[in-house]
């Protein structure tokens, strides 16, 4: 067999002398290089394809995320639109409320003016009422004084007319109450006994209870009337009008009876007060 060194020598000689051989060897050497480079390119291409696949996967995930973001943005826009509608509705309600408040302010101002006017009118009326109260009080005092004088005077005359003081008082008060319209015409005050208690002046409807005495030594005359009035109230289930007529009374006794009469709503007539 030919040794390797001889083979190399022959190949080198052929490369120098044989042009065709030289080109064939050169072609073979270049093809191998091309194959190696193509193999490297294939490996690089596969690496690029792998990278592209990964990028596509990442891009696909990004697309899904983007779709989710778009859906969220759509929901946000819809929510924003609803909020804007609610805000517009609230604005309209606020405008309406402001108009209502302005209207109420005007009405309140009008009412305040009317109240001020009414207060002035009420103050004026109160002054007139106070004045009338004083005049009525003065008239009542004059009427009470006149009634007292009439009782005292007619009491003296009743002696000559043949009637008792009690009978005279009943007739006098009957006429007076009929004239004032407190009792109807045709009704008269009478005497009545309730539970063994004798009532000097009585009428059932309207309910009137009265006591008549010629002279009051103590304030108990008022208490006697109150006791009889309570009996009538129990019997007829209503509050009676109370009248106490005294012909004469000592000043201190009269003052105490007047105090009780005012406190217990008793109509009091005293003919004459003596010291």
The number of helix segments (H) and strand segments (E) in the chain equals: 5, 5
Q: Please give the pLDDT value at position 48.
A: 79
Whole-model pTM over 0.85: no
For 163, other C-beta atoms within 10 Å of its C-beta total 14
Banded pLDDT at 151 (limits 50, 70, 90): low
- Provide the pairing of β-strand 241-250 with 266-274: parallel
Q: Give yes or no for residue 31 having a pLDDT over 80.
A: no
**How many C-alpha atoms does 171 have within 13 Å on its Cβ side?**
11
Pick the range with the lowest mean pLDDT from 158-162, 175-179, 230-234.
158-162
Identify the band that residue 104 occupies on the pLDDT scale cut at 50, 70 and 90: confident
Instruction: Please list the residues that pair with 210 across neighbouring strands.
Output: 201, 243
Kindly tell me if the per-residue pLDDT of 92 is higher than 90: no
Q: For residue 115, what are its two tokens?
A: 């109240």
Q: Which of 160-169, 175-184, 249-258 has the lowest mean pLDDT?
A: 160-169
- What span, in angstroms and rounded, lies between the C-alpha atoms of 38 and 97? 84
Residue 142's pLDDT band (boundaries 50, 70, 90)?
Answer: very low
243 pairs with which residues across the strands? 210, 267
**DSSP string for 48-82:** HHHHHHHHHHHHHHHHHHHHHHHHHHHHHHHHHHH
Q: What is the dihedral of CA 127, 130, 134, 137, to 10 degrees?
A: 150
Q: How far apart are CA 99 and CA 200, in angstroms?
A: 73
**What topology does CATH give the domain 164-274?**
Trna Endonuclease; Chain: A, domain 1 (3.40.1350)
More confident residue, 216 or 4: 216
Average pLDDT across the chain, whole number: 80
Does pLDDT of 4 surpass 50? yes
Please name which of 216, 221, 219 lies closest in space to residue 243, comparing C-alpha atoms. Answer: 221
Q: Where are the domains of the chain?
A: 164-274
Q: How many CB atoms lie within 10 A of CB 173?
A: 25
Q: 216-248, pLDDT tens digit by residue?
A: 888 898 999 999 999 999 999 999 999 999 888
């Amino acid at each position: 067999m030919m040794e390797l060194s001889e083979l190399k020598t022959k190949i080198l000689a052929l490369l120098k002398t044989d042009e065709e051989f030289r080109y064939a060897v050169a072609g073979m050497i270049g093809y191998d290089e091309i194959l190696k480079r193509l193999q490297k390119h294939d490996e690089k291409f596969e690496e690029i394809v792998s990278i592209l696949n990964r990028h596509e996967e990442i891009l696909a995930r990004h697309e899904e995320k983007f779709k989710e973001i778009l859906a969220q943005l759509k929901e946000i826009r819809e929510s924003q639109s609803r909020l804007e509608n609610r805000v517009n509705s609230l604005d309209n309600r606020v405008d309406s409320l402001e108009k209502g408040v302005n209207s109420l302010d005007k009405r309140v101002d009008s009412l305040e003016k009317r109240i001020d006017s009414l207060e002035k009118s009420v103050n004026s009326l109160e002054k007139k009422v106070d004045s009338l109260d004083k005049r009525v009080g003065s008239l009542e005092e004059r009427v009470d004084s006149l009634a007292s004088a009439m009782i005292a005077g007619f009491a003296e005359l009743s002696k000559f007319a043949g009637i008792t003081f009690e009978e005279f008082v009943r007739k006098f008060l009957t006429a007076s109450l009929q004239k004032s319209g407190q009792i109807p015409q045709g009704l008269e005050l009478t005497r009545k006994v309730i539970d063994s208690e004798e009532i000097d002046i009585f009428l059932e409807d309207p309910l009137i209870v009265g006591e008549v005495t010629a002279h009051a030594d103590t304030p108990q005359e008022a208490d006697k009337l109150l006791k009889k009035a309570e009996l009538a109230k129990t019997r007829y289930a209503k509050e009676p009008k109370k009248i106490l007529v005294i012909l004469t009374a000592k000043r201190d006794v009269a003052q105490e009876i007047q105090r009780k009469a005012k406190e217990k709503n008793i109509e009091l007539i005293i003919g004459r007060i003596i010291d």
